DNA sequence: CTGTATCCAACGGGATACTG
DNA sequence: CAGTATCCCGTTGGATACAG
């Protein structure tokens, strides 16, 4: 069950690897963000806010987040059934991480975009010999 | 070529999604970390430090990082050829992000591990009816 | 509504061999 | 050394359809 892509002996080489695995595995960021914004959401509400996710995958990721203690699932035995998801205190403790990320994006995202344009424009010139040619 | 998994209209819903795509796509973290620690590394040195990565994948990720302006590649036309990779100023600007991540890990990683143990131990009890049974 | 079960396609990535 | 070229397999995730 996923079970951490083997960072065996890699934690020492890259101490943040375990954290990245937990917080930035696919779909977790938009899910946590949605739950961070609105305090408590039902399954369909989450489905709408994440928009492109399918119910199967949403379930998988929610189970993972629940297991990691970042999200709390509350089941209401009614008809029709109602389930609510909310971010936990541990999940909220990620706020500084997200804040730093937001700040970096605001300050440097345009630099990345410019680097990409420069790189893509600069391809084809004569210095291409430092790379092997494709095709 | 990867070309950002469509966050079309998703940036608004999750503003940090683009940043996550750039910084936390697979393998980029250990690579950036290695280059952050030691200022300048050759291909094989990187290969050794990341350890479990194959040359093909390492090349792919380095190209991506170079295109995003996070890593600088320097080709020395010698025999045998020598190529050096180093982190750019833009790459170094990620330091606060990594620092926040490190702090969070130090403070809360054990909580995640405890949550996992609790969750795994608690499965099988009677409340399993809130989930569908498998098999 | 809140999921689960199946089938399937796409892609990342490993193994291996080879080039300049 | 610094990659590239193939082949190929496992996992992720989309599309349906269906259940409690």
The rounded distance, in Å, linking the Cα atoms of A77 and A61 is: 22
Question: For residue B7, what pLDDT is reported?
Answer: 45
Q: Which residues of A touch B93 (CB under 8 A)?
A: 104, 107-108
Reply yes or no on domain A16-123 having CATH 1.20.1630.10. no
Q: Mean pLDDT, to the nearest integer, of B102-123?
A: 94
**Among A2, A3, A20, the residue to mutate for chain B (most B Cβ within 10 A):** A20
Q: Mean pLDDT, to the nearest integer, of B106-133?
A: 84
User: What rounded mean pLDDT belongs to chain B?
Assistant: 88
Q: Mean pLDDT, to the nearest integer, of A44-71?
A: 95
Q: Specify the residue for token string 């205190």.
A: A89
Distance A44 CA to D4 C1' (A): 47
**Among B52, B75, B112, the residue to mutate for chain A (most A Cβ within 10 A):** B112
Give strand D nucleotides closer than 7 A to any protein Cβ.
1-6, 12-17, 20
Burial B26-41 (b: 16+ CB within 10 A, else e): ebbbbbbbbbbeeeeb
> How would residue A126 be classed by pLDDT, with cut points 50, 70 and 90?
low
Q: Which residues of A touch B18 (CB under 8 A)?
A: 105, 109
Q: Mean pLDDT, to the nearest integer, of B8-29?
A: 82
> How would residue B130 be classed by pLDDT, with cut points 50, 70 and 90?
confident
Q: Mean pLDDT, to the nearest integer, of B45-66?
A: 95
Instruction: Establish if B72 touches chain A: CB-CB under 8 angstroms.
Output: no
- Provide the CA B77 distance to its chain's centre, in angstroms: 31
Question: For residue A81, what pLDDT is reported?
Answer: 94
- Provide the CA B47 distance to its chain's centre, in angstroms: 15
> How would residue A19 be classed by pLDDT, with cut points 50, 70 and 90?
very high
State yes or no: pLDDT of B123 exceeds 70.
no
Among A34, A43, A61, CA closest to B15: A34
Q: What is the pLDDT of residues A64-113, one digit of tens each?
A: 999 999 999 999 999 999 999 999 999 999 999 999 999 999 999 999 99
Task: Give me the residue from B18, B24, B102 closest to A109, CB to CB.
Answer: B18
β-bridge partners, B84: B42, B74
Q: Specify the residue for token string 């094989």.
A: B44
Q: What percent of chain A has pLDDT over 90?
A: 75
Instruction: Establish if B67 touches chain A: CB-CB under 8 angstroms.
Output: yes
State yes or no: pLDDT of B3 exceeds 80.
no
Q: Mean pLDDT, to the nearest integer, of A116-134?
A: 75
Q: Which residues of A touch B98 (CB under 8 A)?
A: 16
State yes or no: pLDDT of A4 exceeds 50.
no
Distance from CA of B19 to the nearest CA of A (A): 6
Q: Mean pLDDT, to the nearest integer, of B34-55?
A: 93
Distance A133 CA to C2 C1' (A): 52
Q: What percent of chain B has pLDDT over 70?
A: 84
User: What rounded mean pLDDT belongs to chain A?
Assistant: 88
Average the pLDDT over each of A51-55, A70-74, B107-111 and give the range with the smallest value.
Answer: A51-55
User: Which nucleotide across the nucleic acid strands is nearest to B57, CA versus C1'?
Assistant: C13
> How would residue A132 be classed by pLDDT, with cut points 50, 70 and 90?
confident
Is residue A70's beta carbon less than 7 angstroms from any atom in nucleic acid strand D?
no
Question: For residue B128, what pLDDT is reported?
Answer: 62
């Amino acid at each position: 069950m996923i079970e951490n892509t083997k960072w065996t002996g890699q934690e020492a080489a890259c101490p943040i690897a375990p954290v990245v695995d937990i917080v930035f595995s696919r779909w977790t960021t938009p899910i946590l963000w949605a739950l961070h914004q609105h305090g408590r959401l039902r399954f369909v509400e989450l489905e709408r806010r994440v928009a492109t996710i399918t119910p199967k995958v949403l379930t998988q990721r929610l189970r993972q987040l629940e297991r990691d203690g970042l999200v709390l699932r509350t089941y209401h035995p009614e008809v029709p059934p109602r389930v609510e998801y909310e971010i936990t205190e541990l999940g909220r403790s990620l706020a500084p991480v997200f804040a730093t990320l937001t700040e970096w994006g605001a300050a440097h995202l345009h630099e990345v975009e410019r680097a990409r344009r420069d790189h893509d424009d600069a391809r084809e010139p004569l210095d291409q010999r430092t790379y092997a040619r494709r095709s």
